[in-house]
Structures are given as C-alpha cells and as structure tokens.
C-alpha cells in the first residue's frame, strides 16, 4: 500500500506565518523557520510554504526563509506564491526547496508548467488549485489571487490540462472548506482523483483526527495538508500518524 503523507502548511506573509478563514482575517502565528523545525521534529513527511501576498520584494524574503529552512530540516518541502517565471523556479530550487507550487501564474501562463517540467522535471512541479463550487452546483471554478478572483475556469478541466503539461502533483484547496474545520471537501477531491493519475494533496477544512482518517479511508487523496490545527497546538503530526496507524492507514512513523 502507498504510504500516506501528513503535510503541515505554512502561509507566509512578510516573513511571518499567518492563518485565516476562507483566506481572510489573517492572524500571525509564528516564525516559519522555527515552525518548520518543530514539524520536522514531530515527524512531518513534507512541508509546504506559501507566500500568500507575494511580490518581487516578498520573493526576496521567501528565498531567505527557504535558505535558512534548508539548513535546518531534512525532508522535502514545497514553496509557492509569486513564482511567475522559470527564473523564479530556479531561484527557489537553488535556495533549497524540493518542489515549487504554481497557482495564479500558471493560470495566466500555462506554458510555465510545461517549461518548468521540461527544465527541472515533473517531480518538481506542483500545480496548486484553489477551487470553489459554482452557484449552480454544477462543478468547481478555479479561483486565483488568494481567493479574490473567480476565473470561470472549470477546475477539473484545468487540472487535466496542468497534468498534460507536466505537473507531477496536485495541491487541491477547497475555498468552500478552507479554515472551517468541517472536514476536507471529499466530492471535489474524488472528482480530481477520477480525472488524473498523479498524486493529490488534500487541503482546506481539516478540523480533527477523524477528518484525516476519512480522506484516506475514502482514498480521496495521497496526502493531507493542514495548518491551523498544527499551528495552534491542537494536534501534533505524531498524534495524527499514531491515530491513522491504529486505524490501518499506512503512514511513516
């Protein structure tokens, strides 16, 4: 059986980790390098850093954070936010990241996926998709710019195109579930799983141990990402993994 991964997510703004609900109401929760070290010690399988208000000035901040983090932890980590060019991808990978997450920039320039995959390999390219259910309940649209712009683009079709272009993994965030702690968006995740064969990371909505178990028991994702649960000390990565192991989910303990 494939080992399931537990991935803390650090949303970074101006060099600090923040967290909100439905992408708004952001509160500062800590230093990204210190939190990365803590999650490494807890046994996280990977980390995700998202520079949520990235500009070129913030990009310099994130490169510095990536360099400091790479010196202190020894597990894969993904960096996203404000990555607009192949040079940006190169800069982040050289700083020590293992993968880059492409979101809004890939929607505006899908060739960025193709170019990044061709130059650095599919395994380095994570297509991050923020999606929201359409008002008529007919499916999900891609939302960009930190949840501010509904593109009208069908999320499932966009994910298919991203994988065709070379994305090696999908980081799927449900805007409807994000920060609510009501559980992962299983219908959205299942739709993506049925559409593509690359690994899928579930993001948005996890509120308790059972939500982690549910997403894996339903085979709705290969990995589960969470933020506030870990940041506020409600759960540790170790507690999550022990719970999953006791329920027959294959995890690395």
Neighbours of 91 (CB within 10 A): 19
Backbone angles phi, psi at 101, to 5 degrees: -105, 125
Active-site residues: which are they?
11, 130
- In this structure, the number of other CB atoms found within 10 A of the CB of residue 135 comes to 7
Phi, psi of 247 (to 5 degrees): -105, 15
- Distance from the first to the final alpha carbon of the chain: 15
CB burial of residue 75 (10 Å; 0-12, 13-18, 19+):
middle
Would you list the DSSP string of 59-121?
Answer: HHHHHHHHHHHHHH--S-EEEESS--SHHHHHHHHHHT-SEEEE-HHHHH-THHHHHHHHHH-
């Amino acid at each position: 059986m494939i080992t399931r991964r537990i991935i803390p997510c650090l949303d970074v703004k101006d060099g600090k980790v923040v967290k909100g609900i439905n992408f708004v109401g952001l509160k500062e929760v800590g230093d990204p390098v210190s939190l990365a070290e803590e999650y490494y010690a807890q046994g996280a399988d990977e980390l995700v850093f998202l520079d949520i208000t990235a500009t070129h000035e913030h990009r310099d901040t994130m490169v510095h954070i990536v360099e400091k983090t790479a010196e202190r932890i020894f597990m894969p980590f993904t960096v996203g936010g404000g990555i607009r060019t192949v040079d940006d991808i190169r800069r982040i990978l050289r700083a020590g990241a293992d993968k880059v997450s492409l979101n809004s920039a890939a929607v505006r320039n899908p060739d960025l996926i193709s170019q990044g995959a061709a130059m650095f390999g599919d395994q380095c390219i994570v297509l991050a998709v923020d999606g929201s259910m359409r008002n008529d309940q007919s499916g999900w649209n891609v939302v960009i710019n930190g949840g501010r712009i509904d593109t009208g683009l069908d999320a499932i079709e966009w994910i298919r195109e991203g994988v065709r272009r070379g994305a090696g993994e999908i980081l799927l965030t449900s805007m409807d579930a994000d920060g609510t702690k009501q559980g992962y968006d299983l219908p959205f995740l299942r739709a993506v799983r049925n559409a593509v064969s690359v690994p899928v990371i579930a993001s948005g909505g996890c509120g308790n141990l059972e939500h982690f178990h549910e997403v894996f028991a339903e085979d709705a994702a290969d990995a589960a990402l969470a933020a506030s649960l870990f940041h506020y000390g409600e759960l540790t990565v170790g507690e999550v993994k022990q719970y999953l192991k006791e329920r027959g989910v294959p995890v690395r303990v």
